[in-house]
Chains A and B, each alone.
Chain A
Amino acid sequence: MTDRPLKLVLNGTPRTFEEVPDAERLLDTIRWRAGLKGTKEGCRTGDCGACTVLVNGDPSLSCLTLAREVDGDAVTTVEGVTRETVGRAVVKAFEENGAVQCGYCTPGFVVALSGLLAGRSPPPSTEALLDGLEGNLCRCTGYAAIQRAVAAAREAVR
């Protein structure tokens, strides 16, 4: 067991977590230690994308990431992403296009899409954005509404 406290810059705020077991997944640190329940546990095997967070700006699967492996890094969850202009535009596009049904996969989509759009001017093509979302599964919408939302979000931020 690593005795040192775990340090994360979580949604822009430096946070310190004590007595974090070495085997703890970043997903569990976020949900249970930080209490940020927007990040969802879907498959826990890296297949569904519901647990996607940004690590130093890159979409990453928090279920397949040991918390200690991102010690000192900037971790941004859906709660942090949606405070920013791009994240808000993505949420609005999902709402307006009916891209949310049960909503369980939505935070993963919002984080992944925001990560692909943030700081990119001009934004990647809609096709490239959809390719970038290939790891996010949705069991409700059939994806058509999500595809419309992606195109709308892209228009909104360009």
Chain B
Amino acid sequence: MFTLAYPSTPEEAVDRLARAAPGETAVLGGGTDLLLDVESGRTTPTELLSLRKLPWRYLRWERQSLVVGSTLPLRALEVDPKVRTQLPGLWEAIVDVGSPALRSRATLGGNIGRCSPVSDLLPILLALDAQVRIVGPNGRREVPVDAILQESRRTTLGSADLVEAVVVPAAAPCTYLWQRVQPVNDISQVGVATAYAPTPPHWRIAVGGIQPRARRLVEAEGLLRSARPSDFEAELAAQEAARRSTFVTDRRATESYRRRLVSVLVRRAIQRTLARVPPVAGGPSSSP
């Protein structure tokens, strides 16, 4: 069994991680994923380093961005009225994670650190081009989320790096759509996120529920050249998205079903995001 460590400053936390032997210490955010792995013996740390005492439980609206402290429970984002209107796709992804009681513990930082291929949050963070503020032995730095994700439970973060905050645009028309066997309390077979930016290239598309990690669909994005693609252009991008992705068959869905789902969900997500773009491009969205 493990013991808990409660560093009271980020520097103390990083220092403790830097001195730990490989695999000895695991970082504890909300614990909703890590504790399952610990209970089942998939991972056997002797120490969990809790982030509870660090001052990272915040949500801050800045002029251009929303900064989310890495230990803020998802529930706080869910009940924030501005998140729902300014970043509708982020809100959709959050409320699709587990249940309210799970979301009162689960965190954005944990989703990034654990890098689960079935995370409902990673596709929308990729589509929003989220920047991750990291604190490590060499100080602080900011890295795009795309550069951090590797595969299940593996990231490019160093063993003494901690996710301090996640930065997303303060407002963006965006959408998250998924397909599941059961609508709630289930893992998505695939999840698709799209986000629109007023300046070219306007569109970012990402897919999750695939191996080894959620990823951007740059080939499909490349087919969306205009700010307001037609239904036909959206369909072509959706087909490209399905063609360029690699899917697996597992107990949740077959390879061919996932491919079909991606083409349908990408088209719908583009259309829904388009409906959320304000008539005069460039302004923040307050539509559906």
Contact = CB atoms under 8 A, between A and B. Distances in A.
Contacts of A66: 4, 28, 31, 35, 48
Contact of B102 (A44, A61, A69, A116): A61
Nearest to B183: A134
A64 B39 CA distance: 10
Interface string A45-79: 11101001001001111001110110000000000
Given A23-B1, A45-B36, A46-B32, A58 B104 contact: yes
Given A1-B3, A21-B1, A23-B1, A59 B36 contact: no
Most chain B CB neighbours (cut-off 10 Å) among A21, A47, A60 = A60
Contacts of A64: 31-32, 35-36, 102, 105
Given A22-B2, A47-B185, A49-B99, A61 B105 contact: yes
B216 interface: no
A112 to B, nearest CB: 6
A22 B185 contact: no
Most chain B CB neighbours (cut-off 10 Å) among A2, A65, A131 = A65
B52 interface: yes
Contacts of B185: 47, 134-135, 137
Given A47-B185, A66-B4, A134-B185, A112 B101 contact: yes
A137 B104 CA distance: 18
Given A60-B105, A64-B105, A69 B50 contact: yes
B39 A60 contact: no
Contacts of B105: 60-61, 64-65
A68 B1 CA distance: 15
B75 A58 contact: yes
A136 interface: yes
Given A46-B32, A69-B52, A22 B4 contact: yes
A60 B73 CA distance: 11
Contact of B4 (A61, A68, A132): A68
Secondary structure type dominating chain B contacts = mixed
A47 to B, nearest CB: 6
Contacts of A22: 1-4, 48
Interface string B1-43: 1111010000000000000000000001001100110110000
B100 interface: yes
B184 interface: yes
B98 A2 contact: no
Given A59-B104, A60-B104, A61-B105, A135 B98 contact: yes
Contacts of A136: 99
B52 A2 contact: no
A69 B31 contact: yes
A134 to B, nearest CB: 4
A136 B184 CA distance: 10
Contacts of B102: 46, 61, 64, 135
Given A66-B48, A69-B52, A135-B184, 13 more contacts: A21-B1, A22-B3, A23-B1, A45-B39, A46-B36, A46-B98, A49-B99, A55-B104, A59-B104, A61-B99, A64-B35, A69-B50, A131-B95
Interface of A: 1-2, 21-23, 44-47, 49, 52, 55, 58-61, 64-66, 68-69, 112, 116, 131-132, 134-137
21 contacts: A2-B4, A21-B1, A22-B4, A23-B1, A23-B38, A46-B36, A49-B101, A55-B104, A60-B101, A60-B105, A61-B101, A61-B102, A64-B102, A66-B28, A66-B31, A69-B52, A112-B100, A116-B100, A134-B100, A134-B185, A135-B100
